Amino acid sequence: MLTLKQLRDDKEAAVRRLAKKGVDARPVIDRIEQLDDRRKAIQQELDNCLSQQNQAAKMIGALMGQGKRDEAEAKKAEVAALKEKSVKLSAEMKQTADALQAEIVLLPNFPAEIVPEGTSAEDNLVVKLVENYTPLPAEALPHWELAKKYDIIDFDLGVKLTGAGFPVYKGKGARLQRALINYFLDYNTRAGYQEVEPPVMVNEASGFGTGQLPDKEGQMYHATVDNFYLVPTAEVPVTNIFRDVILDEKDFPVKMTAYTPCFRREAGSYGKDVRGLNRLHQFDKVEIVRLSLPDDSYEALDDMVAHVEGLVKSLGLPYRILRLCGGDMSFTSALTYDFEVYSEAQKRWLEVSSVSNFESFQANRLKLRYRDANKKIHLAHTLNGSSLALPRIVAALLENNQTPEGIRIPEVLIPYTGFDIIK
């Protein structure tokens, strides 16, 4: 959530920066200014009312002691009237503050200065391309056909049990899933990320804290009886560990990693581009989350990008790194780098990771702060990245490593799978 200071100190700059995300922010900022001015005016009136009330109340005893009963009674009536007025002002103050909050949360985060202009994925900037393509057999198959051929993923059984987008992994397919999760977690913990195992359901406050609510409620599975949400990513529960927390400057950086299943409704997702593992309603993902001091957060982002690149590179897949344009960025992000691996059988790039700096946007919603050496309180910066999302990694591994003998397993995964080929 943006702060009032960010919006009011330079309104024109705020409008210009949000326009890069395709948002016409001027009408919203105009309403925010009006509500903020009204809130301040009510606060001043309320403070004056309470001051008069206190002064009048103090006079009642003195007047009674002087025998001025009629004047004392008049002061009591004045105090009663002031109390009634202060109650009304307090109610109006809350109503105005709530309306102000409702307007502010409509606005996305400012994009960083280096975010490219653009409105869609076609405008994203490729910042690195590694083309280590693998020659495939003449009759190379897409991963959904390979899954059926080797009986390792059953999409039809998933439809029977739940519905489309909920595959069942079997035999070596299930073992490969577990191997990837363990390898990713080990890779992250070796780099200093503390492993946590969070709940996979969160409350409304957690969804608001990281920006999924109220922006993405339609994309989340909602358990209405308890008002819990199934997590779309481990970012939500892990970052919310520090909701309403004040850290000390010496506590940074905070580095965490977690595995969770992820749940996304992905309403309206149909067609060949979402076939097989390309887009699921339930999938596995390992996440990294960092909390940073503001001056260090972009160095931390670079470190996270390098970390994820090392992980993708270790799997031997062709990949590219993109800096997302303003129109393709998330609501909460200030700067995002996407990682895509190349699917040789499908002849297309598949996103497997997003690494983002949210600056203070999430921290303001979370009330995640830190105390500096001078005991002053500031908002921290938050970052997160996929390290990695499994479905499209599995799709690329199956397709790119198919041979006439079977599907070969990358060397780094063999200690985790216990086999080097799927036959």
Domain boundaries, the chain: 4-104, 121-422
The strand pairing partners of 219, in sequence order, are: none
Give the pLDDT mean for 54-74: 89
Buried b (16+ CB within 10 A) or exposed e, 211-227: bbbebbeeebeeeeeee
Give one word for 199, left, alpha or beta, with left for phi > 0 and alpha for psi -120 to 50: beta
pLDDT at 269: 53
Which of 127, 143, 156 has the alpha carbon at shortest distance from 339?
Answer: 127
d(CA 70, CA 15): 59
Give SS3 for 271: coil
> What is the band of 82 on the pLDDT scale with cuts at 50, 70, 90?
very high
Does residue 237 have a cis peptide bond before it, meaning omega lies within 30 degrees of 0? no
pLDDT at 270: 56
DSSP state of 120: S
pLDDT at 164: 94
pLDDT higher than threshold 60 for residue 267: no
> What is the band of 134 on the pLDDT scale with cuts at 50, 70, 90?
confident
Measure Cα distances from 419 to 82, 180, 388, 395 in Å.
80, 13, 21, 18
Structure tokens at 216: 């993405």
Give the pLDDT mean for 43-55: 95
pLDDT higher than threshold 80 for residue 410: yes
Longest dimension (CA), the chain: 109
Give the pLDDT mean for 314-330: 97
Contact 390, 284 (CB under 8 A): yes
Architecture of domain 4-104: Orthogonal Bundle (1.10)
pLDDT higher than threshold 80 for residue 345: yes
pLDDT higher than threshold 90 for residue 215: no
> What is the band of 272 on the pLDDT scale with cuts at 50, 70, 90?
low
Q: What is the pLDDT of residues 169-207, one digit of tens each?
A: 999 999 999 999 999 999 999 999 999 999 999 999 999
Give the pLDDT mean for 135-156: 95
Q: What is the pLDDT of residues 282-310, one digit of tens each?
A: 999 999 999 999 999 999 999 999 999 99
Give the pLDDT mean for 263-268: 78
- Read off φ and ψ for residue 377, nearest 5 degrees: -100, 135
pLDDT at 85: 96
pLDDT higher than threshold 90 for residue 218: no
> Exposure of 273 by Cβ count < 10 A (0-12 exposed, 13-18 middle, 19+ buried)?
exposed
Global model pTM greater than 0.85:
yes
Measure Cα distances from 359 to 83, 205, 220, 293, 334 in Å.
43, 20, 24, 9, 7
Give the pLDDT mean for 348-359: 97
Architecture of domain 121-422: 2-Layer Sandwich (3.30)
> What is the band of 138 on the pLDDT scale with cuts at 50, 70, 90?
confident
Contact 2, 109 (CB under 8 A): yes
Average of per-residue pLDDT values in the chain: 95
Contact 210, 235 (CB under 8 A): yes
d(CA 39, CA 30): 14
Contact 381, 358 (CB under 8 A): yes
Give the pLDDT mean for 40-61: 94
Buried b (16+ CB within 10 A) or exposed e, 234-245: bbbbbbbbbbee
> What is the band of 381 on the pLDDT scale with cuts at 50, 70, 90?
very high
Buried b (16+ CB within 10 A) or exposed e, 91-114: eebeebbebbeebbbebbbbbbee
> What is the band of 271 on the pLDDT scale with cuts at 50, 70, 90?
low
Q: Which DSSP string corresponds to 350-387?
A: EEEEEEEEEETHHHHHHT-EEE-TTS-EEE-EEEEEEE
Contact 104, 318 (CB under 8 A): no
Residue, of 253 and 68, whose pLDDT is higher: 253
